Amino acid sequence: MNQEISGLSSMATRPILAELSEHIRLAHRIPVRFEAAGGVETARRVREGAEADLLVLADGALAALEKEGHLLAGTVRPLWISQVVTAVPEGTPVPALGSESDLRAALLSAERIAYSTGPSGTALIDLIGRLDLTDTLRHRLIQAAPGVPVGSLLSSGQADLAFQQHSELMDLPGVVVVGPLPGDTAINSLFSGGVLTSSTQPVRAREVLDLLGSDTASKTARARGMRARAE
């Protein structure tokens, strides 16, 4: 019997990895299972010695872990790019997002703005600073707890505007995705994968990683709100 390949990932790639793991199991006879959590939490677990074969995280976090020696040299590869999108609660007015001035107007009109602990959240805070809105919006910002979908703050009425990776906001009940941020305000996150030094079967883990970077995986990524690195 084939031994299972285990992986750790952030929440943003959970839907893609779940679908691809099932495909790899059926088409290639390799059992694969990924455990997802907030990106900060996943990186912490790796640093504390969590044992797994593969890791998929935002590129910056993965690069830091590689530099610290937690990933096998030469195994890290870019996988997918995700856009940060804006969303509102279902049944509420949908703001225009055709220009930077539209985005400013949407931010200024929102009473509670939800964002994540991951790279999209960090990038959003930086963007608000570039728009010179930090002081104005400081007390309107609500950061979701690690691993908690930002969309849940919309559907529960705790926020009226939200920003997060498209893959995490699409198809959520009670949530309407408005679209990506316009022009130069666009936020893109690159997600990469690598083989962990704790892997007990690094050759097969690298085989699975290659499958995650395949054309078939790219089609799944597009359906789940991301695009392949090479596109």
86 neighbors 164 (Cβ within 8 angstroms):
no
Per-residue pLDDT of 31-60, as tens digits, reads 999 999 888 899 999 999 999 999 999 999
Same domain, 130 and 162: yes
Instruction: Give the C-alpha separation, 101 to 124, whole Å.
Output: 16
Per-residue pLDDT of 46-105, as tens digits, reads 999 999 999 999 999 999 999 999 999 999 999 999 899 999 999 999 999 999 999 999
CATH of the domain at 124: 3.40.190.10
218 neighbors 67 (Cβ within 8 angstroms):
no
Same domain, 73 and 149: no
pTM listed for this prediction: 0.83
C-alpha 121, offset from chain centre:
10
Same domain, 76 and 88: no
Same domain, 88 and 180: yes
Per-residue pLDDT of 182-220, as tens digits, reads 999 999 989 999 999 999 999 999 999 999 999 888 888
Same domain, 77 and 90: no
212 neighbors 56 (Cβ within 8 angstroms):
yes
Same domain, 70 and 89: no
**pLDDT value of position 230:** 54
Tokens 């703050």 locate to: 153
Instruction: Give the C-alpha separation, 230 to 68, whole Å.
Output: 27
Nearest to 7 by CA among 176, 220, 191: 191
Same domain, 100 and 158: yes
Looking at the 3D structure of the chain, how many domains does it have?
2
Per-residue pLDDT of 5-22, as tens digits, reads 999 999 889 989 999 999
Instruction: Give the C-alpha separation, 7 to 21, whole Å.
Output: 10
Residue 210 sits in which domain range? 5-81+191-228
